[in-house]
Amino acid sequence: MSNAYRILPALLFPLALACSGGEETDDTGPQFTSNGTDEDGTGTADEIGDESGDADQGTDSTGTGEESSSDGVDTDDDTTTTAGTDTTGADSGETEGECATSSDAVGSSCGQDNANYGSIAIGETLSDLPLGTIYMVDNGLGNGYEDWYRFDFPIDDANPRPSAGTASISFTTNDNEDYRFELFRDCGAQVYGQGLAAEFGSNAPPLLEWSFNDLDPGAEEQLDYLEMVLWPSTVWVRVFRTTNDQTCSQYQLEVTRSL
């Protein structure tokens, strides 16, 4: 009898262990399944996996992380390059500065010393005047997009009036005929004032060429002529662009005085 009691607990003990192990397996299984196998668990695992994957690639795969960083740098470089290309205003500004007439060679307004090219005597020609460029179309008298010159045609004792000759100004270079000029006897004076443009007077259009001829009208009319027609001892020339805005086309003036 004692042996039977001994055998029975021995048989029951493994059974209890088996039952206890099943319960633990059941508890562990659902916990794992809810995190990795259930529908919600799978979604969470995938999202975490993507994020972890990205993070792992950035951390573990140094090359991938560097590529991402490199892509960012490349994008910045591309943006910078594009900005450099698209910033035409800056480029135009540089181009304007490069092709504009030298400020040492002309005046930017009437009355400046840089504009003064001195006296032209009878038989003399100024053909070495600077090549100029005015980048923008004329924006009005005194507003900046203009080049100024001063020329003097003095009366000499050997050739008094009415034999002072003919003063002429014209373009020797005028790319695409982009440029015109106007004349003034003095700063602040009326354009073409006091007979500078005999044909049209003050209503004369901008000019491609100009000449003033001191004619001898004969003894009887000479006094009236000298009083009515004022010789252009000094002229101020304002050059400006009329067409093809923001280009580097050039102009050059020539001034002559002949008998």
DSSP-assigned letters across all residues of 115-126 = GEEEE--TT-EE
Question: pLDDT tens digit string along 80-121?
Answer: 433 333 333 334 444 677 799 999 999 999 999 999 999 999
Alpha carbon 100 to its chain centroid, in Å, reads 13
Query: How far from 157 is each of 121, 122, 232, CA to CA, in Å?
Result: 12, 12, 16
pLDDT attached to residue 132: 98
pLDDT at residue number 6: 53
Q: Left, alpha or beta for 118 (phi > 0: left; psi -120 to 50: alpha)?
A: left
Tens of pLDDT, residues 42-80: 444 344 344 444 444 444 444 444 444 444 444 444 444
Tell me what pLDDT residue 201 has.
74
**pLDDT tens digits for 131-169?**
999 999 999 999 989 999 999 999 999 999 999 999 999
Q: What gap in Å lies between CA 197 and CA 51, rounded to an integer?
A: 83
What confidence score (pLDDT) does residue 95 get? 63
Cα gap 106→100, rounded to integer Å: 11
Whether domain 102-258 has CATH 2.60.120 = yes
Q: How confident is the model at residue 216 (pLDDT cuts 50, 70, 90)?
A: confident
Mean pLDDT of the chain: 75
Domain boundaries along the sequence of the chain? 102-258
User: Which tens digits make up the pLDDT trace of 15-34?
Assistant: 444 444 544 444 444 333 33
158 phi/psi in degrees, rounded to 5 = -75, -20
